Structures are given as C-alpha cells and as structure tokens.
Amino acid sequence: HYDNNINTSYVGLRPNQYSTHSRDNPAPNDRFITQRNAVDLNHAIEISPETKINTLMYWSRLSRDYWRQSIVKRTQESTVFRACNVGADCLIGRNREFQMLGIDSRVSHAYKALGISNEAEFGLRMHTESQINQVVSSKTLAYSGRLTSQEDNKANSVAVYAQNRFLLSKDFALIPGVRVESYNQTRSNAATGKAGSAKNVETIPQIGATWQLVPQVQAYGSVYKGFAPAQLATAIDDKGVDQQLAPERSTNTELGLRGRSGAFTYDSAIFSMNFSNQVVNQSLAAGISKANGGKSLHQGAEMSLAYALGGGWGINGNVTYIPVAKFVGTSSLGRDGNRIPYTPKLTSNLGVSYEKNGFNTLVNLNYVSAQYADSANTVAQNAIGTLGEVPAFTTVNWSANYAINKDWKVFGVINNVFNKRYISSRSPDGIFAGAPLNFQAGMSYQFN
C-alpha cells in the first residue's frame, strides 16, 4: 500500500527564479495525489531435479489525481496563473485510475540431446489492464469540480516465450530464443460513445552466446529485436479511429568481456541500438496529436570495475559512454545528425566501500555530462527556461547498512551530501533543480 500527496507540478522554475536560488514552489496550488495497492503471489515447484516451474500472479490498482492551475503567461521572472474564485475555470484535474492483472509462468528443463547438454525455458504471460481517464474542471481551489470528459480504456496481451541454451562445449554456449506477443488496445469515449481498437502481433527473435576464454575471462554477446506499440492516446484518436501506426522497432547488439582475477572484477561491453519507425508519444493532457517518427542510432560502451583493497575496504566504479545518440534522417523527431535530447555522452560513478561485522557503507561520486533539452540541440537558454543546454553536474552520496541479527537490518542514505545545486531537467515546462541534500532511513525484517 502506498499513499502520496504532494504539491508538485509540470511547472518548473523560470531563469531568474533559478539564478536567485528561489525556494518557493513555482506552482503552489498544483497537487499530485496517488494511492496504490498491489499484491504479488509467487509459486515455485520442482517436478524433478531437471524440471522446475515458477509462476507469478500480480494485481495492482493505482489512482492518480493531478490538479494543475491554468497558466495565463510565462515570463523570465515567473509563471502567471489564472485566478480562482472569479467565476471562471482555473483548476483542471487530470484524474486517472489504472488496474492491472496478469500471470507469468515459466518452465525450465535441463536435458541431453544430440550428445550435448541443453537448458530449455518456456514461458506464457497473460496480462490485462484498464484505465479510467477523467478531466475535471473547477472554479475554486477545492480540488473537486465538474466532470468534463471521461475515457474508459483497456489493453490485453498474450505472450509466449521460448529459449534453449545449447552447451556446445564446456566453455561455449549458444542461446537462441523467440517471443511472440499479441497486444490489443481499446479506447472508448464515455461521453460520445465513440470507441475504437488497435492490434499488434509481433515476433521478436534473439540469440546470445557465452564463451569462457580462460578461467578469468568470459566473452558474451547477443543480438535481439525489440518492439513497443504506440501509446493508446497516439494509436487511436479521440473519435475511436485506429491511426494505423506501426510499432516502434529496434535491432540491438551487444558484445562484452567479464571476469575476475584475484581481488579484481570487471564487466565491459560495447553496444548498438538501431531504432526504426519511432513513435512520438505525446501527453494526452496536452492534446497533441500522434505521428510515426523516423530512425535513430545509439552506440556506446560501458564498463564496471571493482577491487577489494583488503581489511574490508574496496573501490568500485562504472562508466557509460555514448558518443552516438543521434537522429538518422530528418523526420518529425528531429534533424539528421542531431543528438537525441536527454542523452548525456558520459555517466559515471566512483565509490569507496567498507564492510565489517554486518556493517557496510559506501561513499559514491556521481557524474553526468551535459545534455540537450530539445531535438534542435539548442545551447542558449530561452527566456522562460524550457530550452537550452542542461549543464554537467557532480554529486556525492553516502549510504550505510547494518545487520542487527540475521533477521533485522537498518539502513540509511544521504543524497547530495554537499547540497550541490544543478539543473536536472528543463522538461516539460521550466527549470527543475536537482534534489538538494536529503536523507532516508529505514529498517527491514526477514520472516523465516
């Protein structure tokens, strides 16, 4: 069970508010109210030493009321909102309820065939979800009003998955697999009675391999397809017409090395993600229409390293470097060669850890390089702060855990230890400062 009721908004700070370190809420009357209940049931059975079945059943219900005061204008100094209690609509609630129900069951079986060892896995997932999407208009700040629109939407999917691990030698394994998924979406306007549906059936193949070159080094690689259907609001218009949008598709490849040598461990990989037919998913609340986009290419490398110094001390780090994250061909997404928004070239972490007698702690340095906030790759900040480069930033975090006994554990974390002020985003409407110095603490108990 989860409850959340906060004064937060799509509206960020304007340039002068950010530069003067304003601590005021830029949208004091906006409110985000959520409640979520969820249940997961897991079941495992061992039919034989070679055959196991794992099943997950899940259900969740989320209500989300998002009240936002209407905006009259935006300036370099502030955001001006429409006044309430003057006889006109001033507060709009975009209130939604989601329910999800599903089952995912997988069978794994180890066997011998053609003189080699095999490990097969078969899976079936059935999933259904529904959404009630309401717009409520209010002339006051009472966070209630009259219903102006409602949609009752549904989606259902059935997916079948299979893969087989061929152990061709004691050092080399080949793992082909395939997933077939059927995904249906229905959008229904409760006021007009207009309804429509869209359907996708996709076959997604994959193949991977591992090769133990020497005891300290394993090579691995994979090639697989990916797909994602258009969001409901883009796939079907408000009159119930299927927009015939093909799903977003991608071809993904990865090649890497991992291993351990004494106190040193490592994992490194290069990767490429080639997207075609990207769908521009817009906010339903914004009322912006849909479009099939063009192609994009992401290429880079990632690495993680760790070294045990002795006496409980250790050092670890990871880095992701993406020199290529660009649009390919000019389309509704962006101009050919431009960098994709919010894709930093370099993200890295460096940490020092200590562990002894049930206590462990980590001090971590996090770095994120500069990013663009729009597909035009605008560098200069505009007057209202929605465009411009998002500068690089570095933060320091500290965490600690202590096992009181085998059942009880306590933990804590301090984020942004030095209270570094930085821009985390300019989207969707203004400058959002990164979280300041903050902490969390808690405990956990393991039932036996």
Instruction: Choose the weakest-confidence range: 24-28, 140-144, 148-152, 224-228.
Output: 224-228
pLDDT attached to residue 240: 54
% of the chain exceeding 70 in pLDDT = 92
Residue environment code for 36-50, b if the CB has 16+ CB neighbours within 10 A, otherwise e: eeeeeeeeeeeeeee
> Which is nearest to 393 in space by CA: 441, 427, 348?
348
> Average pLDDT, stretch 122-148?
94
> Is the pLDDT reported for residue 333 higher than 80?
no
SS3 of the chain: helix, strand, coil, percent, to 5: 0, 65, 35
Q: How far apart are CA 6 and CA 33, in angstroms?
A: 7
Task: Return the bridge partners of 61, or none.
Answer: 37, 99
pLDDT tens readout for residues 156-207? 999 999 999 999 999 999 999 999 999 998 888 888 888 888 888 899 999 9
Distance of alpha carbon 248 from alpha carbon 290, whole angstroms? 13
pLDDT band at 288 (very low <50, low <70, confident <90, very high): very low
Band of residue 282 on the pLDDT scale cut at 50, 70, 90? very low
pLDDT tens string 337-353: 999 999 999 999 999 99
pLDDT in tens, 419-442: 999 999 999 899 999 999 999 999
pLDDT at 231: 64
Cα gap 431→228, rounded to integer Å? 30
pLDDT of residue 13: 96
What lies within 8 Å, CB to CB, of 349 at 6+ separation is 317, 318, 319, 364, 365, 366, 367
pLDDT at 239: 57
Q: According to the model, what pLDDT value does residue 86 have? A: 86
pLDDT tens-digit profile of 236-253?
555 555 555 667 789 999
Residue 293 confidence class, pLDDT cut points 50, 70, 90: low
Q: Whole-model pTM?
A: 0.86
Average pLDDT, the chain: 91
